[in-house]
Each structure stands twice: as structure tokens, then as C-alpha cells.
Structure 1
Amino acid sequence: MTTEQTATGVDDRALGSLRRWNVALTLLHLAQAVAILVLATDFAVTVTQSLPTGPPGSATGSPEAVFDVPVGAAVAVFLALAALDHLLTATVLRRTYDADLRAGINRFRWVEYSFSATLMVLLIALYTGIDGISALIGIAGANVAMILFGWLQESANPPGRSTVTMKPFWFGCVAGATPWVAIAYNVVAADQVPGFVIGIFVSLFVFFNSFALNQWLQYRQVGPWRDYAFGEKAYLVLSLVAKSALAWQIFAGSLVA
């Protein structure tokens, strides 16, 4: 039977500390977004479409350009989205954010990740040669599903629960693996892949899985992860490091592409 309780470790002192962390992350993400915009070139990646030319089994037409994705602007956008999330949770949405944390959930995290992390995955896909709009839509959908399962994992396990369910977590892992399988296929199947692209793939694969590990540790109550506020700070650190790493790797890649 579930009772109304406060998540472990989420007290006034922890909430005050998290507010300072969110202010700091606002500034760090925003500064990087501005720097990327200032330094960015006009390098862009083209999204294409290959449409059927007849009944099923017919050859598809040659790829046609749909639109260009300016890489510098795209990188700045996911950094700016993170900055906006941290700014809002530290200011006008602070009461809701604090109440959510006391209830063992952070809805704002999952909303922001749905946009920023999906854009990050799409950029990685584009850099590995997945530029068909149909494939990109599927990758985006799978990544958003993974993140929403993360939200559901928190919703399904409020403080005071008598049992823990990990079903949303494992369903999210299945959904989240799909984009990486598609990206890995392109990396392995391609005749030649630039070293910086492999570096991006490996480093971001590790970071993305670190988010899943953080949640698993929270709900398995391992060591300091028994404290929900500790897990929240871990999410903040992972978000900053993952976004910063991808931002500058993608940006550096655009200079040599």
C-alpha cells in the first residue's frame, strides 16, 4: 500500500542546493550555446527522401533533398533547451519542481530530454549517414518513447511504495536501444567512417547509457542512490557532460567535414 511520503533526502537544504545547481547549469549551457553560434560555420547536413516510384517491389527513386540542418544552430538549440529547463526550474517553476522532487519525480527533466536528447540522437544519426527523413522520424519516435518510459518509471514508483516495478525502465531500454542499433549498423557497414564520428558514437553511447544506469541505481537503492536528491544531481551532471561533449565534438566535426 502506497502512502504519502517525501522522497528520501529531499529536504529544504537539498532543494536549496539543487536550485543553485540549476542556476549554475543555466549559465553553463547558455554560455556554450552562445559560443557555438558565434564560432559556427555554415556547415549543414541535408535530410533526404526516397519515395516509391510504383507498386510494392518497385525501385525507389533517387534520394531528393528535403531540407538542410545547420549543424551549429542545431547544437545551440539543444544547449539552449537545457538552459531554459534549468532556468525555469530555478525560478518561476521552482515550487512545482520542488513539490515534484518531494514526490520522487521530475517531469521537467523528461520533457526537456524528449526534445534535447532526441535532437542529439538525430545529429549523431545524420553524422553516421542516416539522412532519410523516414528513418529519422522512426529514430526520433523511439528515443522519445524511451524518455517517456523513464517518466513513467518515476510515476509508477512514488515514495512510500511497498514494491518497486521496473517494467517501464526495461521497456524504455528496449525502445532506446533501437536508434543505437540503426546508428551502429551504419558505422559498421560503411566502407570508411571518420575517426571523429566513431568518437562521437562511442562517447555518447556511454553517456546515454549512464542515464539509464543512474535510474537503475536509484530504484535498486544502491549506496548513495538511496537518496533521491543524489540521483537528481547525478542527472544534472550527466546532462551537462553529455550535452557539452556532443556539442563540441559535433562542432569540431563540422569544421573538418
Structure 2
Amino acid sequence: MSSPVTASGVDRDALASLRRWNLGLTVLHALQAVVVLVLATDFAIAVTATFPQGPPGSEPPAPEALFDVRIGWAIAAFLLLAAVDHGLTGTVLRRRYDRGLQRGINRFRWVEYSVSATVMIVLIAFYNGITDVAAIVAIIGANVAMILLGWVQELMNPPGRDRTTMLPFWFGTFAGLAPWVAIVVNTVGADTVPGFVYGIVVSLFVFFMSFGLNQWLQYRQVGPWRSYAFGEKAYLVLSLVAKSALAWQIFGGSLAG
């Protein structure tokens, strides 16, 4: 029985470097979470519901508030989730993490993203006026589907494969774009929108989708992305840069609010 093929670039030196990165990101994300909690205000956004009354087609009642989401706490949770993921993969789960990378997969990444990225897209939706609980549930479902299809993309493309399929990637892209369509519709449909809001929506979209671009480059094997280890390190760089940018833009809005 032949031994499994190791993913390109995943050697002892690369694994040691990735461990240092994971430990460093644990500290940096945790520190940011603490700063957010220290600076956080009581600013919160209410999740609402409009329950039908009367037969279909009846005029809907006014939305009612179900519960409030404290934005500062949600941002801190977003950063802490990243810190926990990096901390575990750099310490107690390191062997499983290393073995997974050798097989061309990091299931811990997808588990963490499915929660943290969903927290972030919900907050972005809040800021663009999408607060109805039914819409939020749909956004959560679409985003989790996108992330888990990223996991399927890795499962279907092990090292040593004869061909690469991008079907899970494109299915995930389609699912992940749905919340952004809703966000853009709400932004454009608003009576008055300051110019800077459009800039924020665009920048948040770019940062949010940069993770998907990294996977596309990885599986199209563009330049240094031919190395799976390089793609993994790119995920770690994005975890610091893109997640920090997303967190602080949303958090800055809470301070203004």
C-alpha cells in the first residue's frame, strides 16, 4: 500500500514557521479583542421580527425588537475566535494540524471561519439596515454554506490528484454572494447614503472576499501558490490583516454610533 502524497511545500521547516505564525497571531488577535472590550460602548443594534397578522396579503405590522446585539462584544468575540483557533493549532492540536496540512487540508480553519466570518457578515448586514431575524437566519445559512464548501474544495482535491475540480469553490462563491446582494440592495435603496458608506461597503467586500481569492490562487496554482504551505501562510496573513481591518472598521462605526 503506497503512502499518501504530501502536499507541496509542507516540510518540517514550513510547519515550524506556520507554528510560529499561529502563536504570534494568537497573541495579536487576543490583544485586539481586549482593546475592543476596553473601548466598547453600550452601542447595540436590535434584531427585529415582523410576524404576520391576518390572511396572506394583509398589511404587515410594525417590526418588533427581539433582542439587542452589543457590537463591541460581537467584534471581541470575532477576534477571540481567531485567537482560539490559532492558539489551539499552535499548541495542543498542533499534530493534527500538521498532519492535515500534509494531506492538503486544514479543517480547523473552516470550523473557525464558519463561525467568525458569519459573525462578521451579520454585523455588516446590521450596519446596512438588515435586522429582520428571518433575513439574518438566511444570511447565516448562506455564509456557513460558503465556508463549508471551501472545506469540500480541499477534500475533493487531495495532493497527488490527477485533476483539480473547482465546483465546490464556485458553488460556495454563489452562496457567499447572496448576502452581499442583499447588502448592496439595502445600501443603494436608502434615501440618503453618505459617500463614505459606499467606500466602506466596497472595502469590507474586498477584505471579506480576499480569503476566497487566496483559495482560487491556491487551486489554480498561480506562482508561489503552487505550494500548499504558501497558501496556508497567506491565510494566516489574511487572518491578521483582513480580519483586523474588518473588525476595526465595524468597531469604529459603533463608536460613531
Report the TM-score, using the length of structure 1 for normalisation: 0.97
* CA distance, structure 2, for counterparts of residue 125 and residue 197 of structure 1: 13
> Could you list the per-position Cα deviations for residues 12-49 of structure 1 after superposition, in whole angstroms to 9, with x for gaps in the alignment?
10000000000000011000000000011100011100
Q: Identify unmatched segments of 5+ residues in structure 2.
A: none
Paired residue for 1:246? 246
Instruction: Kindly provide the amino acid, as one letter, of the partner of residue 53 in structure 1.
Output: Q
Paired residue for 2:132? 132
Paired residue for 2:99? 99
Q: 202-211 or 66-75: which moved more?
A: 202-211
Identity %: 69
Paired residue for 1:62? 62
Instruction: Kindly provide the amino acid, as one letter, of the partner of residue 183 in structure 1.
Output: I
Paired residue for 1:111? 111
Aligned length: 256
Instruction: Kindly provide the amino acid, as one letter, of the partner of residue 243 in structure 1.
Output: K
* TM-align CA RMSD: 1.3
Instruction: Kindly provide the amino acid, as one letter, of the partner of residue 234 in structure 2.
Output: A
Please say if residues 45 and 71 of structure 2, whose CA atoms lie closer than 8 Å, have aligned partners that are also in contact. Answer: yes
Aligned ranges 1:175-186 → 2 under 5 Å: 175-186=175-186
Q: Secondary structure at the match of 2:158?
A: coil
Q: 46-55 or 187-196: which moved more?
A: 187-196
Aligned ranges 1:208-227 → 2 under 5 Å: 208-227=208-227
Please say if residues 3 and 159 of structure 1, whose CA atoms lie closer than 8 Å, have aligned partners that are also in contact. Answer: no
Please say if residues 127 and 197 of structure 1, whose CA atoms lie closer than 8 Å, have aligned partners that are also in contact. Answer: no
Please say if residues 22 and 86 of structure 1, whose CA atoms lie closer than 8 Å, have aligned partners that are also in contact. Answer: yes
CA change 1:178–1:3 in 2 (3 A) is farther
Aligned ranges 1:163-182 → 2 under 5 Å: 163-182=163-182
> Could you list the per-position Cα deviations for residues 100-123 of structure 1 after superposition, in whole angstroms to 9, with x for gaps in the alignment?
000000000000000000000000
Q: Identify unmatched segments of 5+ residues in structure 1.
A: none
Please say if residues 207 and 245 of structure 2, whose CA atoms lie closer than 8 Å, have aligned partners that are also in contact. Answer: no
Paired residue for 1:206? 206
Please say if residues 6 and 104 of structure 1, whose CA atoms lie closer than 8 Å, have aligned partners that are also in contact. Answer: yes
* CA distance, structure 1, for counterparts of residue 15 and residue 67 of structure 2: 44
Please say if residues 128 and 197 of structure 1, whose CA atoms lie closer than 8 Å, have aligned partners that are also in contact. Answer: no
